[in-house]
Structure 1
Amino acid sequence: MKKIKAWLQAFRFRTLPLAFSCIFMGAFLAAANGFFSWPILIWSLVTTLFLQVLSNLANDYGDATSGVDGVQRTGPKRTVSSGLISLSAMKRALIVFSLLSLFSGLWLIFLSFGDRWTEIIIFLILGLGAIVAAIKYTVGKKPYGYAGFGDLFVLIFFGLVGVGGSYYLYANTLDSLVLLPALSCGLLAVGVLNVNNIRDIDSDQKAGKYSIPVRIGRPNAVLYHWFLLSMAVISSCVYVAIVNPRGFSFLFLLVLPMLYSNARAVKIMKTSQGLDPFLKQLALTTLIFVILFGLGQVVFS
């Protein structure tokens, strides 16, 4: 039972609402344009589940081997560094979830494209890129997450690729306007990462992890956070104003108080313990944002 609890802790299922947000956004946009498929939605969610767990396990492994998750860490301890799971067991888990992500992604691609090999190859490359990105965030000699490039990769895979790619799986074509709500998802996901990095700014600096907040300092990281959340809202507003400018289409604006609460907390909370709840709060806010956006586009269109 103790081992099971340790693995559940390592899987960090609380990160799934954020990961699923881009999948739901792509599905809502496809449905609003007359494209939808339950099998594609289900297998998109399954593949995303495997990729997110893979990323969480790789983060656990990488933080332990790099020394970031040491005694100076202010955030929650990972399972490897605390001795709950061995390095060898975590390595095996990384292989298992890499294969699960690959096989699930392949099935999803064939469901969508059949024998259209050009699209299959393109999405296979994107899928392999997602697997590599999930692992290399904190694992290896030069993990890009420690060099400050995590924000860029999160914007790409939780936004542009996550939403745009999901939409393409349904529609087999890409509307360039879809990139606006995709940008919203990506920016909100970067916001979650930014809260995490502001929370851990002192321990990351001591461990040599050069996240954006470490590079620009806490005051500028707070301004950066306001920018991320503001541009996320503006991007979706522009999309709705162009595509479906009806009152109910702006339902997603109901989350503005939640976004303000998050941005205000990032500004005034100075301790790790004070900031930690706002990681989950922003992840859930992102999911609510997407659901309200989707309802405005599909139900009230």
Structure 2
Amino acid sequence: MRDAQTISRRTTQSVAWKTWIKTSRPFTLTATLSPVLVGTALAAYEGTFHLGTFLATFFSCLFLQIGTNYFNEYFDYRYGLDHAGSLGAMTVIFKQEMTAGQVLGGGIFCFVIAALLGVLLMFIVGPEIILFGLAGILIAYFYSAKPFKFSSRGLGDVMVFLAMGVLMTWGSYYVQIHHWSWSALAASVPVGLLAVSILNMNNVRDYQDDLAVNKKTLPVRFGLTFGRRFHAVLLFGSYVLTTIFVIAHLLPWASLLVWLTFPLAYLNVRAVLGATESKAFIVGIKKTSMLHMVFGLVLALSLLLAILL
């Protein structure tokens, strides 16, 4: 009898943890890895690297993104933007796998962890780092929540570019080397565009659901064809802009190694432009997330390689 109860408890605990992890949308978390690696690698290229600072920055950004995903799940449910059949949602609340309060609590918990790590960075770097943290938290929370609801007003793409492009990349550089850098800003642009491409793929996939509830994402505002073409611009633009920044001497020549990943981008765009079913966009999201990670890894490694050149 005790063995049966023990197995039952373990099973319940296992399922609960799987649900927590699923709701964090783990396949999107590469969007944190790339900017932090690139910003840190650029600082190392310029001669500075502190492991403890890197780890605190990475986990602060990671918990901030996980918390954002929890809040997005909660507020889309609360505002009636999701339903049991929504492709974009984990639907854990509708399936009664988690209560709305649990999802909200998960978001708050993650934000607290991110904030505590931010306080640690403040002691390491200086009080000015609080500006990065506050900007990140405000964008992350009001991405889904009232009164701004950026994601429902077609401003989600801009906020993702600022938060997961500029703030994370340049911020990861700044905590290592405490000064402004045009090179860090340049490095943040292609990384940010690829982060936006992940969101755009989500919005293209959710086009019908968002249209039904008047959630004004860019594909809803300008059409599905625009969403597909915007995806191509974001992906190809990342490579073009990296090349321009190299020519302008904002990034080292080794950064051109990112072109090794271009076949992945080309196949991705071709599949998206030719897709006819929503399921194809689900695959597209995962492939875009993978491209974002691979691009970021190659760019970071190329910056480290440039140290030896």
| TM-score (normalised: structure 2) | 0.89
* Structure with bigger gyration radius: 2
Aligned residues: 293
Quote how far apart the aligned CAs of 1:251 are. 1.2
Q: Deviations over 1:265-301 (max 9, x none)?
A: 2211121211111212111211211221122222243
Label 1:94 to 1:74 Cα distance change in 2 as closer, same or farther (>3 A): closer
Please say if residues 136 and 167 of structure 2, whose CA atoms lie closer than 8 Å, have aligned partners that are also in contact. no
User: Which of 33, 36, 45 is 2:46 aligned to?
Assistant: 33
Please say if residues 186 and 251 of structure 2, whose CA atoms lie closer than 8 Å, have aligned partners that are also in contact. no
Task: Please give the alpha-carbon distance, in whole angstroms, between the structure 1 residues aligned to 2:125 and 2:273.
Answer: 44
Quick check: 1:86 aligned with 2:99? yes
SS of residue paired to 2:97? coil
Structure 2's unaligned 5+ residue stretches are: 1-13
SS of residue paired to 2:176? helix
Label 1:11 to 1:271 Cα distance change in 2 as closer, same or farther (>3 A): same
Task: Please give the alpha-carbon distance, in whole angstroms, between the structure 1 residues aligned to 2:100 and 2:234.
Answer: 36
Quick check: 1:185 aligned with 2:153? no
Quote how far apart the aligned CAs of 1:160 are. 1.1
Identity over the aligned pairs, expressed in percent?
26
Quick check: 1:215 aligned with 2:201? no
Quote how far apart the aligned CAs of 1:31 are. 0.8
Q: Paired residue for 2:294?
A: 288
Task: Please give the alpha-carbon distance, in whole angstroms, between the structure 1 residues aligned to 2:100 and 2:25.
Answer: 17
Task: Please give the alpha-carbon distance, in whole angstroms, between the structure 1 residues aligned to 2:179 and 2:21.
Answer: 38
Task: Please give the alpha-carbon distance, in whole angstroms, between the structure 2 residues aligned to 1:68 and 1:269.
Answer: 25
| TM-score (normalised: structure 1) | 0.92
AA partner of residue 43 (structure 2): A
Task: Please give the alpha-carbon distance, in whole angstroms, between the structure 1 residues aligned to 2:69 and 2:103.
Answer: 11
Quote how far apart the aligned CAs of 1:72 are. 5.4
User: Which of 230, 247, 271 is 1:265 aligned to?
Assistant: 271
Task: Please give the alpha-carbon distance, in whole angstroms, between the structure 2 residues aligned to 1:132 and 1:76.
Answer: 22
TM superposition outliers: structure 1 runs of 4+ over 3 Å? 74-77, 243-246
Task: Please give the alpha-carbon distance, in whole angstroms, between the structure 2 residues aligned to 1:38 and 1:71.
Answer: 43
Quote how far apart the aligned CAs of 1:140 are. 2.8
SS of residue paired to 2:175? helix
Q: Deviations over 1:94-140 (max 9, x none)?
A: 22222111111111222223xxxxxx1x3213212211221222223
Quote how far apart the aligned CAs of 1:141 are. 4.8
Q: Deviations over 1:135-171 (max 9, x none)?
A: 2222235411011100000010111111111111111
Task: Please give the alpha-carbon distance, in whole angstroms, between the structure 2 residues aligned to 1:136 and 1:207.
Answer: 19
Q: Paired residue for 2:182?
A: 176
SS of residue paired to 1:208? coil
- Cα RMSD of the aligned pairs, angstroms, is 1.7
User: Which of 58, 69, 74 is 1:45 aligned to?
Assistant: 58
| Stretch moving more, 237-246 or 103-112 | 237-246
AA partner of residue 148 (structure 1): G
Please say if residues 156 and 186 of structure 1, whose CA atoms lie closer than 8 Å, have aligned partners that are also in contact. yes
Please say if residues 84 and 91 of structure 2, whose CA atoms lie closer than 8 Å, have aligned partners that are also in contact. no
Please say if residues 136 and 144 of structure 1, whose CA atoms lie closer than 8 Å, have aligned partners that are also in contact. yes
Q: How does 1:1-301 map to 2 (within 5 A)?
A: 1-71=14-84, 73-113=86-126, 120=127, 122-241=128-247, 242-243=249-250, 246=253, 248-300=254-306, 301=309
